[in-house]
């Protein structure tokens, strides 16, 4: 079973790489153990946040980063090309984002804000609610959206806000079930008319938990607008429908482009030869060959890197050299978190793993959180680095395939 490229991991970076390669006519096989970390992501695209909300392009802060940071390794022009491609692709998939050059302050379910480069289309930001009279909606018995905290945060920020508790369609109370029930609504207009009737007079804007459909959010929000209800969404705690929408949209597109998913599969072994990876095996020792490989295994969070009891960090799939951390248990909590994020595989500028000053394999490229020297939470750069490195790995794999 031979493909042009095998991608290990269905994280955002792996999905981006897969789609980019499929677009260019290569055959792609993706191995993933389970759901991607997009299922826990709040949905907006975080690029970099050197200083909170600012109209300054966040990438202006790249110079201050570690020289080994993925953005600096691949260079700004590549990052910008990758983002442009990504937003264009998502637009075509009905998954629109609103980049406006700088970071806006997206509202969080706890009533705080997150600097976000490109909120998803109907994502609520502080700027959008500041001058409005707002109703904060919550669904009865739904536990993963602390609407009371959001309400309190808005009021503290001087926003005129009230709460309204709604019944979710079909009486659902779990995030994903609520979103699917919205997708199934036979008469969305009637539902939103009912909401409208219950609103306090003068409410101009309703903040919903980001559960208005897994697939049909555009239509649903359009239906609501038709009933005179202006809706924006605020992400929930994980599982996060806002993040899942992106994962599902990309996965659907990959399947339509004849990409192959092997789900629930752990890459258990690899065969090397002649300075290259020749193939990988699954748990049942089935062998899969490819010309190039992309490791998008999700770092420590997703098990793509393993932390041993003695503090050693290992890359189990290809046994790649890893930039180790200081002993974690000797660090302060913030330093320990930072170290767990920053540990990862060392690569050269074409994302090939590097050890002792040279790359370990000609045809292996590493992306996303499996890379070292960056911190998605500390820098608020998770999606940005994933998109950029996924795109760059696809480019590097293409160059390799063309050359060989």
Binding site for other proteins (CB under 8 A): 37, 40-42, 108-114, 141, 143-144, 146-149, 152-153, 173-174, 235, 237-238, 240, 299-303, 306-311, 327-334, 336-337, 340-341, 376-378, 382
Beta-carbon contacts of 201 under 8 Å, excluding residues fewer than 6 positions away, are: none
According to DSSP, the β-strands at 276-281 and 287-295 are antiparallel
Q: With respect to other proteins, which residue has the nearer C-beta, 89 or 108?
A: 108
Q: How far lies 58's CA from each of 47, 62, 70, 117, 211, in Å?
A: 7, 8, 15, 8, 29
Report, in Å, the least distance between residue 381 CB and other proteins: 11
Q: Contact at 8 Å (CB) between 104 and 116?
A: yes
Q: With respect to other proteins, which residue has the nearer C-beta, 164 or 260?
A: 164
Distance separating alpha carbons of residues 14 and 33, to the nearest angstrom: 13
Q: With respect to other proteins, which residue has the nearer C-beta, 235 or 279?
A: 235
Q: How far lies 315's CA from each of 10, 102, 212, in Å?
A: 17, 35, 38
Report, in Å, the least distance between residue 150 CB and other proteins: 9
DSSP code of residue 186: S
CB-side exposure of 15: number of CA atoms within 13 Å? 25
Q: With respect to other proteins, which residue has the nearer C-beta, 105 or 254?
A: 105
Distance separating alpha carbons of residues 12 and 46, to the nearest angstrom: 13
Sign of CA dihedral 143, 45, 111, 233: negative
Report, in Å, the least distance between residue 114 CB and other proteins: 5
Q: With respect to other proteins, which residue has the nearer C-beta, 167 or 204?
A: 167
Strand partners, 270: 280
CB-side exposure of 209: number of CA atoms within 13 Å? 33
Q: Contact at 8 Å (CB) between 374 and 271?
A: no
Report, in Å, the least distance between residue 263 CB and other proteins: 19
Report, in Å, the least distance between residue 9 CB and other proteins: 14
Q: With respect to other proteins, which residue has the nearer C-beta, 188 or 368?
A: 368
Q: With respect to other proteins, which residue has the nearer C-beta, 330 or 403?
A: 330
Report, in Å, the least distance between residue 313 CB and other proteins: 9
Q: Contact at 8 Å (CB) between 274 and 267?
A: no
Report, in Å, the least distance between residue 37 CB and other proteins: 7
Q: With respect to other proteins, which residue has the nearer C-beta, 156 or 356?
A: 156
Q: With respect to other proteins, which residue has the nearer C-beta, 153 or 390?
A: 153
Report, in Å, the least distance between residue 70 CB and other proteins: 18
Q: Contact at 8 Å (CB) between 11 and 296?
A: yes
Q: With respect to other proteins, which residue has the nearer C-beta, 72 or 341?
A: 341
Report, in Å, the least distance between residue 51 CB and other proteins: 12
CB-side exposure of 39: number of CA atoms within 13 Å? 12
Residue 317: name the closest of 361, 381, 383, 259 by CA.
361
Report, in Å, the least distance between residue 109 CB and other proteins: 7
Q: With respect to other proteins, which residue has the nearer C-beta, 140 or 399?
A: 140
Residue 22: name the closest of 261, 256, 298, 362 by CA.
256
Beta-carbon contacts of 365 under 8 Å, excluding residues fewer than 6 positions away, are: 292, 293, 294, 295, 347, 350, 351, 352, 393, 396, 397
E strands present in 125-250: 133-139, 160-166, 205-209, 231-234
Report, in Å, the least distance between residue 255 CB and other proteins: 27
């Amino acid at each position: 079973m031979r493909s042009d490229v095998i991608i290990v991991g269905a994280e955002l970076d792996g999905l981006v790489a897969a789609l980019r390669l499929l677009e260019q006519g290569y055959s792609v096989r993706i191995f993933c153990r389970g759901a991607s970390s997009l299922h826990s992501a709040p949905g907006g695209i975080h690029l970099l946040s050197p200083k909170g909300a600012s109209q300054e392009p966040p990438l202006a802060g790249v110079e201050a980063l570690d020289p080994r940071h993925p953005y600096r390794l691949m260079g700004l022009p590549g990052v910008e090309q990758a983002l442009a491609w990504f937003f264009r692709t998502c637009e075509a998939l009905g998954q629109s984002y609103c980049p406006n050059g700088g970071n806006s302050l997206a509202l969080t379910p706890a009533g705080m804000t997150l600097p976000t480069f490109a909120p998803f289309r109907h994502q609520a930001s502080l700027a959008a609610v500041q001058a409005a009279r707002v109703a904060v909606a919550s669904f009865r018995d739904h536990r993963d959206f602390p609407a009371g905290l959001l309400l309190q945060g808005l009021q503290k920020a001087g926003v005129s806000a009230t709460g309204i508790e709604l019944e979710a369609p079909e009486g659902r109370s779990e995030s994903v079930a609520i979103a699917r029930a919205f997708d199934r609504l036979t008469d969305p207009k009637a539902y939103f008319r009912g909401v409208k009737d219950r609103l306090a007079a003068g409410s101009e804007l309703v903040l919903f938990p980001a559960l208005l459909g897994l697939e049909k959010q555009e239509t649903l929000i359009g239906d609501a607008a038709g009933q005179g209800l202006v809706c924006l969404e605020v992400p929930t705690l994980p599982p996060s429908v806002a993040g899942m929408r992106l994962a599902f949209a990309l996965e659907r597109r990959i399947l339509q482009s004849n990409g192959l998913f092997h789900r629930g599969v752990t890459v258990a072994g690899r065969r090397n030869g002649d300075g290259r990876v020749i193939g990988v095996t699954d748990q049942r020792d089935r062998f899969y060959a490819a010309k190039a490989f992309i490791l998008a295994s999700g770092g420590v969070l997703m098990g793509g890197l393993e932390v041993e009891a003695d503090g050693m960090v290992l890359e189990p799939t290809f046994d790649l050299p890893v930039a180790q951390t200081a002993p974690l248990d000797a660090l302060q909590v913030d330093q320990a978190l930072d170290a767990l994020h920053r540990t990862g595989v060392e690569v050269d500028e074409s994302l090939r793993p590097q050890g002792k000053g040279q790359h370990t394999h000609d045809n292996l490229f590493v992306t996303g959180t499996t890379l070292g020297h960056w911190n998605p939470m500390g820098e608020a750069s998770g999606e940005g680095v994933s998109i950029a490195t996924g795109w760059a790995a696809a480019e590097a794999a293409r160059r390799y395939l063309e050359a060989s």
